[in-house]
Amino acid sequence: MVIILENNATETQIENVVKHLEDFGFQVHKSTGVEKTILGAIGVQPDFDIRKISILNGVAEVYRVTTPYKLAGRSFHEQDTIIKIKDVSIGGNQIVLMAGPCSVENESQIFHLAEIVAKSGAKILRGGAFKPRTSPYAFQGLGEEGLKLMRKAADHYGLLVVTEVMQIDHINLIYNYTDIFQVGARNMQNFAMIKELGKVDKPVLLKRGIAATIEEWLMSAEYIMANGNNDVILCERGIRTFEKYTRNTFDLSAIPVVHKKSHLPIIADPSHATGYRDQVPPMARAAVAAGADGIMIEIHDNPDAALSDGPQALVPDVYLKLITELKLIAQAIGRNI
Ligand code: PEP
Ligand code: MN
């Protein structure tokens, strides 16, 4: 931790700050310049609340030097994490594609879309059976019936399944059907649930909360890892800003930031990030170019009749064309799809 003192901080104030730091267990190094005094506090305390120092008289600024996420961060784990599920690797040179409807609606819908997903070369079928809807009156998902249909369609076409879990007491049920647990944006800080997901032996796809900083997102990954599950896939799905022409603001820069700070794979979800189907292909292309380890896309063969998120769903032809473009972009940056 680095503490910059106010230019006019008194000796007594500085001594008081030093005493606090020592009492908190830090070793303190003081450097006195012509105008400024800077303190270096040595000692790894990932859970230290730096506000305990910033509120002291005479303190101008406090910076944390070490990251508070030890397991998710790169400091103690330099190599990229590659998560293997059957014959699929997430986080390596191969960019993984996940596609499917927002919600599983019925058997013919999920079978037809699974066929398209497989045809595109994607390895993972997405689809919600338990849906986190903003309105309690909106379609809430088919529940277990949806899970069964999705598993059946995925098995038929040789795909893996990723589906959302919204509550702790559904973990065991969903475990029977899914290959990857999705934690939705609205549940990124449902600490009780993500702690439980730390105890399962299947990967977790952790979406970024709508108002979460990257550090908060990585701390949620840390919760899962600290409880025993190292297989966390991060997913950037847009954040809430003042902008109204997009559903969310796609934080493309989160991709290189996460790659720098963390060894965990990061995928991009341009569907929820933009909310409008005309914006999805450009942002998917940008995400691949920016280094995403995977792309998640919502598709539907009749978006106007979709039970959720129709406006952001790509129709199969547009989706298939997009995938051919993504393959070219991947190749251009030395990766493949
Ligand atoms: C979804 O994937 O359908 C979904 C609800 O995503 P998010 O949690 O990002 O809104
Ligand atoms: Mn959706």
Classify each residue of 149-173 as buried b or exposed e, where b means 16 or more C-beta atoms within 10 Å of its C-beta.
Answer: bbbebbeebebbbbbbbbeeebbee
Residue 276 C-alpha to ligand 1 middle, in angstroms?
14
**Measured from the CB, is residue 99 less than 6 Å from ligand 1?**
no
pLDDT at 35: 84
pLDDT at 67: 86
pTM over 0.85: yes
Residues 161 and 177: beta-carbon distance below 8 Å:
yes
**Measured from the CB, is residue 25 less than 6 Å from ligand 1?**
no
Q: What is the mean pLDDT of each run of 10 residues along the chain (337 residues)?
A: 95 97 96 92 89 97 91 95 98 98 98 98 98 93 97 98 98 98 98 98 98 98 98 98 97 98 98 98 98 98 97 98 98 97
Residues 25 and 45: beta-carbon distance below 8 Å:
yes
Q: Which residues contact 101 (CB under 8 A, 6 or more apart)?
A: 109, 110, 113, 126, 127, 128, 298, 299, 300, 306, 313
Q: Which of 264, 244, 243 is nearest to 254 (CA)?
A: 264
Residue 185 C-alpha to ligand 1 middle, in angstroms?
6
Give, for ligand 1, the residue of 269, 300, 308 to mutate: max count of ligand atoms closer than 8 Å to Cβ.
Answer: 269
